[in-house]
Copies of this chain bind each other. A is one copy, B any other.
Amino acid sequence: MSSTSIAVIGGGIAGVTTAFHLARRGAHVTLVDDGGSGQATAASAGIIAPWVSSSDGSYYEAYAAGGNFYPEFLSQLEELGIRELGYRRSGALMVSADAADLDAVEERITRRVQDAGPVAGTVERADERRVHELLPALAPGLTGLFVSGGGRVDGRLLRDATLTGALALGARHVPDSALGLERARTGWRIRTTAGNLDADAVVVAAGARVTALLEPLGVHVGISAQRGQLVHLGLRGVDTSPWPTVHPFAEHYLTPFDGGRIVVGATRESGSGFDPRVTAEGQLQVLRNALELAPGLATATVLEARAGIRPVADRGVPLIGRVPGADGLWMISGYGAGGLTMGPLFGDAVARDVLGEPAPDLAAFAVTSG
Protein backbone atom coordinates (compact mmCIF):
# COMPACT_ATOMS: atom_id res chain seq x y z
CA MET A 1 0.00 0.00 0.00
CA SER A 2 3.06 2.21 -0.05
CA SER A 3 1.99 4.22 -3.09
CA THR A 4 -1.29 5.28 -1.54
CA SER A 5 -1.56 8.58 0.26
CA ILE A 6 -2.57 8.72 3.90
CA ALA A 7 -3.65 11.78 5.84
CA VAL A 8 -3.64 12.06 9.61
CA ILE A 9 -5.89 14.67 11.18
CA GLY A 10 -4.58 15.96 14.50
CA GLY A 11 -1.18 16.90 15.87
CA GLY A 12 -1.45 15.69 19.46
CA ILE A 13 0.42 12.62 20.64
CA ALA A 14 -1.95 10.23 18.82
CA GLY A 15 -1.60 12.07 15.52
CA VAL A 16 2.15 12.62 15.52
CA THR A 17 2.93 9.06 16.58
CA THR A 18 0.59 7.66 13.93
CA ALA A 19 2.29 9.85 11.31
CA PHE A 20 5.71 8.87 12.60
CA HIS A 21 5.02 5.15 12.48
CA LEU A 22 3.44 5.46 9.02
CA ALA A 23 6.48 7.34 7.76
CA ARG A 24 8.81 4.77 9.34
CA ARG A 25 7.06 2.14 7.27
CA GLY A 26 7.50 4.13 4.10
CA ALA A 27 3.99 5.46 3.66
CA HIS A 28 3.18 8.78 1.98
CA VAL A 29 1.74 10.57 4.97
CA THR A 30 0.43 14.08 5.51
CA LEU A 31 -0.37 15.45 8.96
CA VAL A 32 -3.07 18.13 9.12
CA ASP A 33 -3.05 20.24 12.27
CA ASP A 34 -3.45 23.93 12.94
CA GLY A 35 -1.73 24.06 16.31
CA GLY A 36 -4.91 25.45 17.84
CA SER A 37 -5.57 25.69 21.54
CA GLY A 38 -7.04 22.99 23.70
CA GLN A 39 -4.80 20.11 22.72
CA ALA A 40 -4.59 17.64 25.62
CA THR A 41 -0.99 16.72 24.79
CA ALA A 42 0.12 20.32 25.04
CA ALA A 43 -1.42 20.64 28.49
CA SER A 44 -0.59 17.19 29.83
CA ALA A 45 1.26 16.58 33.08
CA GLY A 46 3.43 13.95 31.48
CA ILE A 47 3.24 10.99 33.86
CA ILE A 48 4.34 7.64 32.39
CA ALA A 49 3.65 5.25 35.24
CA PRO A 50 0.59 3.15 34.45
CA TRP A 51 1.36 0.65 37.22
CA VAL A 52 0.29 3.02 39.98
CA SER A 53 -3.01 3.97 38.36
CA SER A 54 -6.34 2.89 39.81
CA SER A 55 -7.62 1.71 36.43
CA ASP A 56 -8.15 -1.93 35.57
CA GLY A 57 -9.54 -4.22 32.88
CA SER A 58 -8.91 -3.46 29.23
CA TYR A 59 -8.10 0.14 29.96
CA TYR A 60 -5.30 -0.89 32.31
CA GLU A 61 -3.98 -3.47 29.87
CA ALA A 62 -3.72 -0.82 27.18
CA TYR A 63 -2.22 1.63 29.66
CA ALA A 64 0.42 -0.86 30.82
CA ALA A 65 1.23 -1.93 27.29
CA GLY A 66 1.75 1.75 26.43
CA GLY A 67 4.17 2.13 29.31
CA ASN A 68 6.09 -0.98 28.29
CA PHE A 69 6.47 0.35 24.77
CA TYR A 70 8.04 3.66 25.85
CA PRO A 71 11.70 2.67 25.89
CA GLU A 72 11.44 1.28 22.38
CA PHE A 73 9.65 4.36 21.13
CA LEU A 74 12.18 6.74 22.67
CA SER A 75 14.97 4.70 21.07
CA GLN A 76 13.35 5.03 17.66
CA LEU A 77 13.54 8.80 18.00
CA GLU A 78 17.07 8.80 19.39
CA GLU A 79 18.24 6.69 16.49
CA LEU A 80 17.23 9.56 14.24
CA GLY A 81 19.51 11.87 16.21
CA ILE A 82 16.62 13.50 18.08
CA ARG A 83 17.70 14.03 21.65
CA GLU A 84 15.34 16.59 23.12
CA LEU A 85 12.60 14.23 24.25
CA GLY A 86 11.86 15.70 27.64
CA TYR A 87 11.77 12.26 29.27
CA ARG A 88 13.21 11.37 32.66
CA ARG A 89 12.87 8.12 34.63
CA SER A 90 11.86 9.96 37.76
CA GLY A 91 10.13 7.24 39.73
CA ALA A 92 6.50 7.43 40.86
CA LEU A 93 5.54 7.83 44.49
CA MET A 94 2.13 6.90 45.82
CA VAL A 95 1.48 8.58 49.17
CA SER A 96 -1.15 8.50 51.87
CA ALA A 97 -1.56 9.64 55.45
CA ASP A 98 -3.21 6.27 56.07
CA ALA A 99 -0.93 3.27 55.69
CA ALA A 100 -4.01 1.13 55.08
CA ASP A 101 -4.42 2.80 51.69
CA LEU A 102 -0.98 1.58 50.73
CA ASP A 103 -1.53 -1.86 52.20
CA ALA A 104 -4.60 -2.21 50.05
CA VAL A 105 -2.73 -1.68 46.79
CA GLU A 106 0.78 -2.89 47.51
CA GLU A 107 0.22 -6.41 46.34
CA ARG A 108 -1.50 -5.37 43.12
CA ILE A 109 1.15 -2.82 42.25
CA THR A 110 3.98 -5.18 43.07
CA ARG A 111 2.46 -7.77 40.75
CA ARG A 112 1.98 -5.20 38.00
CA VAL A 113 5.58 -4.03 38.30
CA GLN A 114 6.83 -7.59 38.17
CA ASP A 115 4.67 -8.35 35.14
CA ALA A 116 6.00 -5.29 33.37
CA GLY A 117 9.62 -6.29 33.88
CA PRO A 118 12.66 -4.01 33.98
CA VAL A 119 10.84 -1.02 32.50
CA ALA A 120 8.83 -0.63 35.71
CA GLY A 121 11.78 -1.01 38.06
CA THR A 122 11.18 -2.00 41.63
CA VAL A 123 8.64 -1.30 44.36
CA GLU A 124 9.76 0.13 47.68
CA ARG A 125 7.68 0.83 50.77
CA ALA A 126 8.72 4.31 51.91
CA ASP A 127 8.38 5.44 55.51
CA GLU A 128 7.82 9.09 56.41
CA ARG A 129 11.53 9.85 56.48
CA ARG A 130 12.06 8.29 53.07
CA VAL A 131 9.06 10.13 51.60
CA HIS A 132 10.51 13.39 52.86
CA GLU A 133 13.88 12.50 51.38
CA LEU A 134 12.33 11.76 47.99
CA LEU A 135 10.38 15.02 47.91
CA PRO A 136 10.88 17.42 50.81
CA ALA A 137 7.99 19.70 49.88
CA LEU A 138 5.35 17.09 50.76
CA ALA A 139 3.16 17.31 53.84
CA PRO A 140 4.41 15.58 56.96
CA GLY A 141 2.77 12.35 58.02
CA LEU A 142 2.74 10.69 54.62
CA THR A 143 4.13 7.26 53.87
CA GLY A 144 4.38 5.78 50.42
CA LEU A 145 5.06 3.21 47.77
CA PHE A 146 7.85 4.13 45.38
CA VAL A 147 7.96 2.58 41.91
CA SER A 148 11.38 3.29 40.52
CA GLY A 149 10.53 2.84 36.84
CA GLY A 150 7.95 5.61 36.68
CA GLY A 151 8.78 8.36 34.25
CA ARG A 152 7.75 11.85 33.36
CA VAL A 153 7.82 13.48 29.96
CA ASP A 154 7.25 16.99 28.63
CA GLY A 155 4.30 16.42 26.33
CA ARG A 156 5.12 19.36 24.08
CA LEU A 157 8.74 18.38 23.65
CA LEU A 158 7.87 14.75 22.92
CA ARG A 159 5.18 15.79 20.46
CA ASP A 160 7.59 18.12 18.65
CA ALA A 161 10.33 15.51 18.66
CA THR A 162 7.95 12.94 17.17
CA LEU A 163 6.85 15.36 14.47
CA THR A 164 10.51 16.12 13.74
CA GLY A 165 11.05 12.39 13.37
CA ALA A 166 8.09 12.04 11.04
CA LEU A 167 9.28 14.93 8.88
CA ALA A 168 12.80 13.51 8.81
CA LEU A 169 11.30 10.30 7.46
CA GLY A 170 9.44 12.09 4.71
CA ALA A 171 6.09 13.02 6.20
CA ARG A 172 4.47 16.29 5.19
CA HIS A 173 2.81 18.77 7.56
CA VAL A 174 -0.13 20.97 6.55
CA PRO A 175 -0.58 23.65 9.24
CA ASP A 176 -4.29 24.16 8.75
CA SER A 177 -7.61 23.30 10.37
CA ALA A 178 -9.56 20.27 9.23
CA LEU A 179 -13.08 21.71 9.02
CA GLY A 180 -14.82 18.70 7.53
CA LEU A 181 -14.43 15.29 5.97
CA GLU A 182 -16.17 14.08 2.80
CA ARG A 183 -15.99 11.03 0.60
CA ALA A 184 -14.04 11.80 -2.53
CA ARG A 185 -14.07 9.91 -5.84
CA THR A 186 -11.43 7.59 -4.42
CA GLY A 187 -10.74 7.92 -0.76
CA TRP A 188 -11.52 11.05 1.24
CA ARG A 189 -11.48 14.81 1.00
CA ILE A 190 -10.51 16.93 3.98
CA ARG A 191 -11.92 20.45 3.85
CA THR A 192 -9.49 22.98 5.32
CA THR A 193 -9.43 26.75 5.65
CA ALA A 194 -7.12 27.09 2.68
CA GLY A 195 -8.73 24.49 0.43
CA ASN A 196 -9.08 20.74 0.17
CA LEU A 197 -6.75 17.83 0.70
CA ASP A 198 -7.46 14.42 -0.84
CA ALA A 199 -6.10 11.15 0.49
CA ASP A 200 -6.69 7.45 -0.12
CA ALA A 201 -6.95 6.82 3.60
CA VAL A 202 -7.49 9.08 6.59
CA VAL A 203 -6.74 8.55 10.27
CA VAL A 204 -8.76 10.86 12.51
CA ALA A 205 -6.60 11.51 15.55
CA ALA A 206 -8.35 14.72 16.51
CA GLY A 207 -8.98 14.08 20.21
CA ALA A 208 -12.38 15.25 21.35
CA ARG A 209 -12.97 16.90 17.99
CA VAL A 210 -13.44 13.51 16.41
CA THR A 211 -17.15 13.77 17.18
CA ALA A 212 -17.64 16.94 15.14
CA LEU A 213 -15.76 15.39 12.20
CA LEU A 214 -17.59 12.05 12.15
CA GLU A 215 -21.15 13.04 13.04
CA PRO A 216 -21.86 14.66 9.64
CA LEU A 217 -20.97 11.21 8.21
CA GLY A 218 -23.64 9.66 10.39
CA VAL A 219 -21.10 8.02 12.67
CA HIS A 220 -21.59 8.39 16.42
CA VAL A 221 -18.60 7.04 18.28
CA GLY A 222 -19.33 8.08 21.84
CA ILE A 223 -16.40 10.36 22.61
CA SER A 224 -16.92 13.43 24.76
CA ALA A 225 -14.80 16.38 25.84
CA GLN A 226 -13.37 16.62 29.35
CA ARG A 227 -11.41 19.68 30.38
CA GLY A 228 -8.29 19.34 32.49
CA GLN A 229 -6.64 22.35 34.09
CA LEU A 230 -3.11 22.39 35.46
CA VAL A 231 -0.77 24.89 37.03
CA HIS A 232 2.99 25.12 36.58
CA LEU A 233 4.79 26.23 39.72
CA GLY A 234 8.39 27.39 39.99
CA LEU A 235 10.66 26.80 42.97
CA ARG A 236 13.75 28.96 42.77
CA GLY A 237 17.05 27.54 43.82
CA VAL A 238 15.74 24.01 44.37
CA ASP A 239 17.04 21.04 42.39
CA THR A 240 13.80 19.32 41.50
CA SER A 241 15.36 17.02 38.94
CA PRO A 242 15.53 13.95 41.22
CA TRP A 243 11.97 14.35 42.47
CA PRO A 244 9.44 11.64 41.58
CA THR A 245 5.89 12.12 40.40
CA VAL A 246 3.44 11.98 43.33
CA HIS A 247 0.09 10.20 43.44
CA PRO A 248 -2.10 10.74 46.53
CA PHE A 249 -4.90 8.21 45.94
CA ALA A 250 -6.97 10.79 44.16
CA GLU A 251 -7.24 12.19 40.67
CA HIS A 252 -4.70 14.91 41.23
CA TYR A 253 -0.94 14.58 41.19
CA LEU A 254 2.33 16.44 41.09
CA THR A 255 4.93 16.13 38.33
CA PRO A 256 8.34 17.70 38.90
CA PHE A 257 10.51 18.79 35.99
CA ASP A 258 14.11 20.00 35.97
CA GLY A 259 14.94 23.57 36.80
CA GLY A 260 12.45 23.96 39.62
CA ARG A 261 9.28 23.47 37.58
CA ILE A 262 6.50 21.45 39.17
CA VAL A 263 3.26 20.70 37.38
CA VAL A 264 0.20 20.23 39.57
CA GLY A 265 -3.28 19.23 38.54
CA ALA A 266 -5.53 18.29 37.03
CA THR A 267 -9.22 18.83 36.98
CA ARG A 268 -11.47 16.31 35.26
CA GLU A 269 -14.32 18.49 34.06
CA SER A 270 -16.74 16.21 32.28
CA GLY A 271 -19.34 18.03 30.27
CA SER A 272 -17.06 20.99 29.68
CA GLY A 273 -17.40 20.84 25.92
CA PHE A 274 -14.44 21.88 23.80
CA ASP A 275 -13.83 25.04 25.83
CA PRO A 276 -10.15 25.18 26.82
CA ARG A 277 -10.35 27.97 29.36
CA VAL A 278 -8.61 28.44 32.66
CA THR A 279 -11.38 29.12 35.17
CA ALA A 280 -11.54 30.50 38.69
CA GLU A 281 -12.93 27.34 40.25
CA GLY A 282 -10.57 25.11 38.28
CA GLN A 283 -7.52 27.03 39.49
CA LEU A 284 -8.84 27.10 43.02
CA GLN A 285 -9.29 23.33 43.01
CA VAL A 286 -5.84 22.65 41.55
CA LEU A 287 -4.05 24.96 43.97
CA ARG A 288 -5.98 23.73 47.01
CA ASN A 289 -5.18 20.11 46.23
CA ALA A 290 -1.55 20.89 45.49
CA LEU A 291 -0.85 22.81 48.69
CA GLU A 292 -2.63 20.26 50.82
CA LEU A 293 -0.42 17.57 49.32
CA ALA A 294 2.76 19.64 49.25
CA PRO A 295 2.72 22.62 51.61
CA GLY A 296 6.34 23.25 50.65
CA LEU A 297 5.06 24.68 47.39
CA ALA A 298 3.15 27.50 49.10
CA THR A 299 5.65 30.20 48.18
CA ALA A 300 6.40 28.78 44.73
CA THR A 301 5.82 31.13 41.83
CA VAL A 302 2.77 30.54 39.64
CA LEU A 303 4.46 30.31 36.24
CA GLU A 304 1.50 29.50 34.05
CA ALA A 305 -1.84 27.76 33.92
CA ARG A 306 -2.87 25.39 31.16
CA ALA A 307 -6.08 23.81 30.02
CA GLY A 308 -6.46 20.88 27.66
CA ILE A 309 -9.45 18.94 26.42
CA ARG A 310 -9.22 15.18 26.84
CA PRO A 311 -11.24 12.81 24.69
CA VAL A 312 -13.16 10.44 26.96
CA ALA A 313 -14.90 7.37 25.57
CA ASP A 314 -18.33 6.37 26.85
CA ARG A 315 -17.16 2.76 26.75
CA GLY A 316 -14.26 3.49 29.07
CA VAL A 317 -11.56 2.20 26.75
CA PRO A 318 -9.78 3.96 23.91
CA LEU A 319 -11.38 3.57 20.50
CA ILE A 320 -8.86 2.55 17.90
CA GLY A 321 -9.24 1.18 14.39
CA ARG A 322 -11.49 1.33 11.36
CA VAL A 323 -14.49 3.58 11.46
CA PRO A 324 -17.49 1.32 10.78
CA GLY A 325 -19.20 1.86 7.45
CA ALA A 326 -16.51 4.21 6.19
CA ASP A 327 -13.99 2.41 4.04
CA GLY A 328 -10.52 3.91 4.23
CA LEU A 329 -11.24 5.77 7.47
CA TRP A 330 -9.58 5.03 10.80
CA MET A 331 -9.75 6.73 14.17
CA ILE A 332 -7.71 6.78 17.35
CA SER A 333 -9.10 8.59 20.37
CA GLY A 334 -10.73 8.22 23.76
CA TYR A 335 -7.66 7.82 25.96
CA GLY A 336 -8.87 10.03 28.77
CA ALA A 337 -5.94 10.99 30.95
CA GLY A 338 -3.74 8.17 29.59
CA GLY A 339 -3.06 9.53 26.11
CA LEU A 340 0.57 10.39 26.52
CA THR A 341 1.29 6.87 27.76
CA MET A 342 -0.78 4.96 25.21
CA GLY A 343 -0.30 7.21 22.19
CA PRO A 344 3.01 5.89 20.89
CA LEU A 345 1.92 2.25 21.08
CA PHE A 346 -1.47 2.72 19.48
CA GLY A 347 -0.10 5.10 16.88
CA ASP A 348 2.11 2.20 15.86
CA ALA A 349 -0.80 -0.24 15.90
CA VAL A 350 -2.99 1.95 13.73
CA ALA A 351 -0.16 2.57 11.31
CA ARG A 352 0.27 -1.19 10.88
CA ASP A 353 -3.44 -1.70 10.44
CA VAL A 354 -3.76 1.03 7.82
CA LEU A 355 -0.86 -0.43 5.89
CA GLY A 356 -2.22 -4.00 6.08
CA GLU A 357 0.72 -5.15 8.13
CA PRO A 358 0.42 -7.50 11.10
CA ALA A 359 -0.90 -5.50 14.00
CA PRO A 360 -1.80 -6.20 17.62
CA ASP A 361 -5.32 -7.39 18.28
CA LEU A 362 -7.37 -4.25 18.75
CA ALA A 363 -10.72 -5.99 19.17
CA ALA A 364 -11.20 -4.66 22.69
CA PHE A 365 -10.92 -1.12 21.34
CA ALA A 366 -12.96 -1.55 18.17
CA VAL A 367 -14.88 1.48 17.06
CA THR A 368 -18.64 1.10 16.92
CA SER A 369 -21.26 3.63 15.91
CA GLY A 370 -24.17 4.07 18.26
Interface residues of A (CB under 8 A from B): 35, 81-84, 86, 88, 160-161, 163-164, 167-168, 172-175, 179, 193-194, 212, 231, 233, 236-239, 241-242, 258-259, 273-275, 277-281, 283-284, 287-288, 290-291, 297-302, 305
Contacts and interface: CB of A to CB of B under 8 A. Distances in A.
A291 B287 CA distance: 14
A361 to B, nearest CB: 34
Contact of A237 (B174, B193, B258): B174
Nearest to A303: B278
Nearest to A84: B258
A290 B167 CA distance: 24
A35 B298 CA distance: 20
B281 A299 contact: yes
22 contacts: A35-B236, A82-B258, A84-B84, A160-B259, A164-B239, A167-B239, A173-B237, A175-B236, A175-B237, A179-B212, A193-B275, A194-B274, A279-B300, A279-B301, A279-B302, A280-B300, A280-B301, A281-B298, A283-B283, A283-B302, A284-B291, A287-B287
Number of copies: 4
B233 A280 contact: yes
A275 B239 contact: no
Contacts of A291: 280-281, 284
Contacts of A299: 279-281
A284 B284 CA distance: 6
Contact of A236 (B88, B173, B274, B287): B173
Nearest to A261: B160
Contacts of A35: 236
Given A86-B84, A288-B284, A238 B298 contact: no
A273 to B, nearest CB: 5
Q: Which of A84, A164, A175, A258: most chain B CB closer than 10 A? A: A84
A41 B233 CA distance: 23
A283 B288 CA distance: 10
Nearest to A301: B277
Contacts of A86: 84
A172 B237 contact: yes
Nearest to A237: B173
A321 to B, nearest CB: 26
A340 to B, nearest CB: 17
A206 to B, nearest CB: 13
A290 B173 CA distance: 24
A173 B212 CA distance: 23
Contact of A280 (B83, B174, B238, B287): B287
Given A161-B258, A164-B241, A238-B167, A280 B298 contact: yes
A212 to B, nearest CB: 7
A243 to B, nearest CB: 12
A212 B275 CA distance: 22
Given A168-B239, A173-B236, A280 B290 contact: yes
A164 B259 CA distance: 6
Nearest to A159: B259
Contacts of A275: 193-194
A161 B259 CA distance: 7
A149 to B, nearest CB: 15
A278 B258 contact: no
A298 B273 contact: no
Closest 7 CB pairs of A and B: A173-B237, A167-B239, A175-B236, A281-B298, A284-B287, A160-B259, A194-B273
